[in-house]
């Protein structure tokens, strides 16, 4: 890594953060941006650029921590709903190239994270079948190994 990773710096204690949870594999801290109070990030301790590079053990630990933190945020900041997300790469607006899960309490009408500003039409059955076959093929190939 050429540039220091801000999240690795937080894990190493070199950048201050409001840490709400830490264990041997994960850290959770309050996001600098608070569109709704309670916005929290959950990250793996080791540098992982995004979910495509995540191993199963770290992924399981990350989701356990996310669930624990999400439930705590929900109790601390009652809301109309919650968003839990991870953006991968520039096409999805990932800003920090270290895997992080956002936990964000939501308010009806807050205008945040509109998944479909203009809802797309439903895919026809043949298109859904073709997509499913492509995904199944990749799953089968990953099961077989190199």
Which of 11, 49, 45 lies closest to 26 in space, CA to CA? 45
| Angle (CA) 97 72 6, round 5° | 20
Number of CB atoms found within 10 A of residue 50's CB: 16
Tokens for 84, please give them.
Answer: 């839990």
Q: Which residues are known to be catalytic?
A: 100
Q: Output phi, psi for 19, to 5 deg.
A: -80, 130
Distance of CA 134 to the CA centre of its chain: 24
């Amino acid at each position: 890594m050429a540039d220091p990773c801000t999240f690795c710096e937080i894990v190493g204690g070199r950048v201050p953060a409001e840490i709400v949870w830490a264990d041997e594999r994960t850290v959770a801290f309050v996001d600098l941006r608070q569109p709704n109070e309670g916005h929290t990030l959950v990250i793996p301790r080791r540098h992982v650029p995004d979910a495509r590079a995540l191993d199963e053990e770290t992924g399981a630990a990350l989701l356990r921590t996310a669930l624990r933190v999400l439930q705590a945020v929900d109790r601390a900041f009652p809301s109309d709903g919650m968003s839990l997300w991870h953006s991968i790469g520039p096409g999805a607006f990932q800003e920090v190239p270290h895997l992080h899960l956002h936990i964000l309490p939501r308010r009806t009408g807050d205008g945040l994270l509109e998944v479909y500003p203009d809802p797309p039409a439903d895919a026809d059955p043949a298109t859904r079948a073709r997509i499913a076959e492509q995904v199944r093929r990749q799953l089968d190939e990953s099961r077989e190994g190199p």
